[in-house]
Structure 1
Amino acid sequence: MRNYYKTPLTLLLILLSCVYLPGCKSNHPAQKSIEKDTVPVSDQEIVDAYTYLYGRYLVIQQENHDINTERVGYNKIKYNPLGSAQFVNPNLDVANLESWIAVDSTHAVILNIPKIENRYYTVELLDGWGEVITNINERNYPKTPYGKFALCIKGTNPPIPSDAVKIELPSAKIKMLARVELKDTPAIAKKLQKQFTLTVPDSIRIDSPVNIPEFTSQKPIGGAIFDKVEEVLSSYPDKMPKAKDLQATAEKVAIYNSSGPNEKRRVDSIVVARAIPAFLAGAKGFGTQKGGWSVSYVAGNFGDDMMARDIINYGGLWANAIQEAIYFVGLTDSGKEPLSGDNVYEICFSKDSLPGTMVNAFWSVTLYSVPDYRVVKNSIKRYNINNLSGLKSNDDESVSIWLASKMPKDIPQTNWLPTPKGKGFALTFRMYVSKDPVLQGKWFPAAIHKVK
């Protein structure tokens, strides 16, 4: 059941532009009809409103794909095959499972988590904007790291088992992703993966995903993003501190956009000329940058950084909070040139800054195609390098990772990550349960140097 709400400014705008028509049907309780008067908006307001809405549209797009195209259903767990790469930005170091979980005001869903010891795991719950609600694991729930967890809407009291831990959700739907480290015993990880289950009561009321226009990474949504602003905003509450102000701007632009064909053309032209290019430029390198790597320290809990939320939802939807996993994205070399499979690169870690010394769990670096962020097929079927890859040290005890379409001479094959010949690519460097130097920005992956 959706949590419908409106900002005070929204109500004022609607009241100023509505007339009462007895017998006229409307979606609003007071049976109002909105008269499309022109409300002047600035170019920057259009850009800001687009940027704000885009993050939510990316989540809605994924929900529609999962529910209407893949037909995964709500309250059903999808146990992804080990090593599966059939989705965007896959993580190949863990056993993954995922679910769209839906509850209502009188029903809770029980999430059953198995006992897991001496192996990294987490159950990440996310809201409809891609923000992390909580992570269930031994770090955040030391007294109850496993067992029954009752998921229910905040402020409701549906019947739940006496031995279940109650977790309140911001609205009726969430995304659940769980990860279990493979380590060197993937069969055990797979067995544990299948022990995550849901207990689902009958008769839960579930709303369908919001119907939105189709768009892609290559062709982002344009001015049509303003056609269903009220429905989109009412479909999920937003924890962003400035959400009310941003929503008021989006609603103001929506009223202007619907006031006439000239206004609609102007909005679309500004979206195409300014908003989309600004987003794509930001996606090429955002947050803190060093040596070809970019990182956002607000992933999962974005504060008021709507551009960071857009970019992360675009390139790696369902990113976790940095305390669990921090993601360094490599799109360029240390000279700020885009990464290309026509070049050879070296990432050399000094003996005093090896990634394994900077995590309490594990690390990995994975190579993806751009702009769709899929793994790149290669002759040795190697898509990532991690703490279990058996990397060979250099003579000075440093460790190098080599990136090239063909294995460079005189290097260990274990240290080679194949790249796509003649094509661009991207890297994601994941650090799990990082130590303070990583979280505080004092440690970065070694620079991506192009070898001449």
Structure 2
Amino acid sequence: MNSIRLFVVSLLISVMSLTSAAQAQAPADENQLYNAWSYLLGRALIIRQENTDMREPGMNYNVIKYHNLASDTAFVNPNFDVAYLESWIAIDDNSAALVSVPEIKDRYYTIQLLNEWGDNITNINSRVYPNHPSGIFALVTAHSNVKLPAGAIPVILPSNKAKLLGRFELKDSPEEATKLQRAVTLTITGTPHITQPPAIPEFTNDKLPGVALFDNAEAILQSAPDYTPVAAGVQQSVRDIAQKVHTNSQYRQQTDNALTQHVIPAFMQEAHTGIATWKNNWLGGHKEGRGYNGHYGTDYRMRTAINLLGIWANSPGEAVYYLATKDSNGQSLNGNGFYRLHFPATALPETMAKAFWSIIMVSIPDYQVIPNPLKRYNFNNYSGLKKNSDGSLDIVIGPRPPKHFPESNWLPSSTNQAFAFTFRAYVPEPDVAAGDRFPPAVTPVNENQF
């Protein structure tokens, strides 16, 4: 009898042990894993960009780099319609960054500040600061001990670092835009302690990190505060997964399999089609139930997608962005083919924006310009495009200039190179800002039909 009891007890213990082991080794719920991984990736993308920036000549913390984008073609998601400047601000409670902005009239400009997760902090311009569009703006921490100069406008940063980007519309006088760009200066008071970014795995846009992203999760989370209302909960999910992949090799492998086979493909699909409105095979504008560019609220997955596809996106009041990777038939855009964008006379691109519009072709997956002999990468208000006899406008894309078509309206592509279009409307019209108006579809055409 005792032997039977011992056998039953041993059997129960074995079953309980097997159950506990199975539970310990079970992979994370894929929805939880999706949320945790996409959240952590959002910060990793900013860290990657910070590291990339610091390897560039002329870049350093608290130093403005003034770009001449006519030659700076290696810039990610470039904008050749503006004179560009950038800096990484790094301060502490005993230091401040003083940004001097000149008086600017009759020209679009903005000094954009973003936090270390990719959220917009503010834009320094006449629209956001109508009573103080120029002068000294003091970037400080919330608990700053710095006595500011008289008349300086304080701008409180949510953490000790911020990305600063300046844009000055070229219009038809690029020399004047460059002069204004160079008039923006940055002065640091005190000697700030600058923390280096935490380690992240190496990755590219077409090979995003798998389970290795969780290896330094705690340091990544601690490297910058995140003020999205759901941060605490999703950060705990990140920590739970990170702890398990660190201590259980089987769980680690199962998690990596789930990421590479399911989570990452699903995220890429969401990033390209789900974060904004999809119309005319353009992705852009606001989508009901999602966040807004630059102000994502609880929509951290959209924030991560923007950090991946169009890092440093501005708020909708400043700019609306549209991304096209497919033609009107749903096929991927490729440099072997010819395409046309047709704007009716009643819906020309300049009617979409109060400031200016632009369209640029960039490569996939790295979102950089595609070299061509003409060094022509974009069109905008001042490109001298020729309209049709009925007042409409055609833009043609292809590897060769099409016959019987104005070369001024031709945007060169490169054979066998996949590409995307970014269309920008700066200070968009209300229907554009509301997501009710889109660029026309990119239509495939025969090069001999013109």
| TM-score, with structure 2 as normaliser | 0.89
* Contact 2:100–2:185 under 8 Å retained in 1: yes
* Contact 1:213–1:224 under 8 Å retained in 2: yes
2:365 alignment counterpart: 371
Residue 114 of structure 2, aligned match among 109, 126, 131? 126
2:401 alignment counterpart: 407
Aligned-pair Cα RMSD in Å: 1.7
Residue 383 of structure 1, aligned match among 362, 377, 395? 377
* Contact 2:96–2:190 under 8 Å retained in 1: no
1:66 alignment counterpart: 53
Change (3 A) 1:71 1:221: farther
- Structure 1 SS opposite 2:373: coil
| Structure 1 residue 306 displacement after superposition | 2.6
| Structure 1 residue 49 displacement after superposition | 0.7
| Structure 1 residue 336 displacement after superposition | 1.0
Range with bigger deviation, 38-47 or 203-212: 38-47
Identity between Structure 1 and Structure 2 (%): 42
Partners of 1:71 and 1:57 in 2: CA distance: 23
The letter for the 2-side match of 1:43 is E
* Contact 1:296–1:308 under 8 Å retained in 2: no
Change (3 A) 1:149 1:39: farther
Partners of 2:104 and 2:420 in 1: CA distance: 33
1:327 alignment counterpart: 321
Establish whether residue 197 from structure 1 lines up as the match of residue 191 from structure 2: no
- Structure 2 SS opposite 1:284: helix
| Structure 1 residue 377 displacement after superposition | 1.3
1:374-401 Cα deviation digits (max 9, x unpaired): 1111122210011111222223221111
Residue 52 of structure 1, aligned match among 33, 39, 42? 39
Larger Rg: 2
1:262 alignment counterpart: 250
* Contact 1:233–1:247 under 8 Å retained in 2: yes
5 Å matches for 1:21-32?
Answer: none
* Contact 1:153–1:169 under 8 Å retained in 2: yes
The letter for the 1-side match of 2:50 is E
| Structure 1 residue 422 displacement after superposition | 2.3
1:202-224 Cα deviation digits (max 9, x unpaired): 32111111121211123211111
Change (3 A) 1:275 1:70: farther
Change (3 A) 1:91 1:69: closer
* Contact 1:131–1:301 under 8 Å retained in 2: yes
Establish whether residue 160 from structure 1 lines up as the match of residue 180 from structure 2: no
Establish whether residue 111 from structure 1 lines up as the match of residue 121 from structure 2: no
Partners of 1:302 and 1:45 in 2: CA distance: 20
1:136-192 Cα deviation digits (max 9, x unpaired): 000000111111011111243421112100011101000000001111111111111
1:185 alignment counterpart: 173
Change (3 A) 1:291 1:356: same
1:449 alignment counterpart: 443
* Contact 2:96–2:140 under 8 Å retained in 1: yes
| Structure 1 residue 424 displacement after superposition | 1.4
- Structure 2 SS opposite 1:45: helix
| Structure 1 residue 418 displacement after superposition | 1.0
* Contact 2:35–2:301 under 8 Å retained in 1: no
1:77 alignment counterpart: 64
| Structure 1 residue 254 displacement after superposition | 1.1
Unaligned runs of 5+ residues in structure 2 are 1-22, 287-291
5 Å matches for 1:1-400?
Answer: 38=24, 41-67=28-54, 70=57, 72-83=59-70, 84-286=72-274, 287-297=276-286, 298-400=292-394
| Structure 1 residue 69 displacement after superposition | 6.0
* Contact 1:38–1:259 under 8 Å retained in 2: no
| Structure 1 residue 239 displacement after superposition | 2.6
| Structure 1 residue 52 displacement after superposition | 0.9
| Structure 1 residue 357 displacement after superposition | 1.5
* Contact 1:79–1:194 under 8 Å retained in 2: yes
The letter for the 2-side match of 1:201 is T
Partners of 1:50 and 1:313 in 2: CA distance: 14
Unaligned runs of 5+ residues in structure 1 are 1-36
Partners of 2:189 and 2:24 in 1: CA distance: 48
Establish whether residue 433 from structure 1 lines up as the match of residue 427 from structure 2: yes
Partners of 2:249 and 2:52 in 1: CA distance: 31
- Structure 1 SS opposite 2:351: helix
* Contact 1:76–1:198 under 8 Å retained in 2: yes
* Contact 2:30–2:263 under 8 Å retained in 1: no
Partners of 2:269 and 2:353 in 1: CA distance: 31
| Structure 1 residue 51 displacement after superposition | 0.9
Higher helix proportion, which one? Answer: 2
| TM-score, with structure 1 as normaliser | 0.89
Task: Figure out how many residues of one structure are paired with residues of the other and give that number.
Answer: 416
